């Protein structure tokens, strides 16, 4: 039984990190296109660095919640049952801090920077700015290692391969409006393995591919998923 889990901002909401599509259409008081697009960065790199510095600093104040922990337990319990892959659209580090290992950050990571001069990426835990030198080439050309609108998400070959082999797929806390992640459920459905699809969301998206919908916050919904899969949360 091969399992692929996709998470979105909703899984970190109960840890105190804002989701993207709040009712006012803003992300932490900014228009998404100003802080999450290459054009926004070209227009005002200092503002964009400042925005992500705040998000990066917030990681010191938040901790993984029951949903992150339950997914790490699910991964441990799944050893010997089949392949397991956790794909997250989130740029926070709460999955890894909860103990998840087979994890791919398809939209990048707050705690990494990318050099636009030499293309190297590396871990970064402090503030960054327009004059931060690249640790590899020295150029003052660093940007957050975040996949912005119009850019290609990371790990797509590996993710598509896993979806092609999946027997179970679960989408947790994602609005399902941003592609390519929004197409993963359809991709799993079409893989010819009779893949069973779950959604966990307190406001279900109504996605037509899901066989089972657990309409609950992730901190309750993920432990419920483990029960349904016959896995103990203390694994
Ligand atoms: P969204 O903000 O679009 O959606 C968050 C989802 O989480 C919604 O469907 C909520 O109903 C749900 N939700 C809220 N509280 C929850 C809880 N306690 N438990 C479970 N679910 C809850 O976030 P994403 O779908 O992750 O991309 O957004 C996808 C991408 O759009 C992001 O990765 C980001 C953004 O622009 C980039 O930055 C490239």
Phi, psi torsion values for 109, nearest 5 degrees: -140, 135
User: Taking the model in full, what pTM does it have?
Assistant: 0.96
Residues 65 and 185: their CA atoms lie apart, in Å, by 25
- The terminus-to-terminus CA distance of the chain in angstroms comes to 18
pLDDT in tens, the chain (235 residues): 999 999 999 999 999 998 887 656 567 788 888 999 999 999 999 999 999 999 999 999 999 999 999 999 999 999 999 999 999 999 999 999 999 999 999 999 999 999 999 999 999 999 999 999 999 999 999 999 999 999 999 999 999 999 999 999 999 999 999 999 999 999 999 999 999 999 999 999 988 899 999 999 999 999 999 999 999 766 5
Q: How many CA atoms lie within 13 A of 205 on its CB side?
A: 20
CA of 12 to the centre of ligand 1 (A): 9
CA–CA dist 154, 149 (Å, integer)? 13
Please tell me if the CB atom of residue 19 comes closer than 6 angstroms to any atom of ligand 1.
Answer: yes
Active site residue 50: no
For residue 201, the CA-to-ligand 1 centroid distance in Å is 10
Q: What's the sign of the alpha-carbon dihedral 37, 40, 42, 48?
A: negative
What structural domains and CATH numbers belong to the chain? 3-17+64-107+154-228 (3.40.50.1220), 38-60+112-146 (3.30.1600.10)
């Amino acid at each position: 039984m091969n399992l692929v889990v996709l998470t979105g901002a909703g899984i970190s909401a109960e840890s105190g990190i804002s989701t993207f599509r709040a009712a006012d259409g803003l992300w932490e008081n900014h228009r998404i296109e100003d802080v999450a697009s290459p054009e926004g960065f070209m227009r005002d790199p200092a503002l964009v660095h400042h925005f992500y510095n705040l998000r990066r600093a917030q990681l010191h104040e938040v901790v993984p919640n029951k949903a992150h922990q339950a997914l790490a337990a699910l991964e441990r319990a799944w050893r010997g049952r089949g392949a397991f892959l956790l794909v997250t659209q989130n740029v926070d580090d709460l999955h890894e801090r909860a103990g998840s290992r087979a994890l791919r950050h398809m939209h990048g990571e707050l705690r990494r920077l990318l050099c636009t001069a030499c293309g190297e990426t590396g871990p970064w835990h402090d503030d960054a700015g327009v004059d931060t030198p690249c640790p590899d080439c020295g150029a003052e050309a660093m940007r957050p290692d975040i996949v912005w609108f119009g850019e290609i998400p990371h790990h797509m070959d590996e993710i598509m391969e896993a979806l092609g082999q999946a027997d179970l797929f679960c989408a947790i806390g994602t609005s399902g409006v941003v592609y390519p992640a929004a197409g993963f459920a359809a991709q799993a459905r079409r893989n010819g393995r009779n893949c069973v699809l779950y959604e966990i969301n307190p406001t279900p998206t109504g996605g037509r591919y899901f066989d089972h919908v657990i309409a609950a916050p992730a901190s309750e919904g993920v432990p419920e998923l483990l029960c349904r899969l016959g896995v103990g949360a203390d694994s």
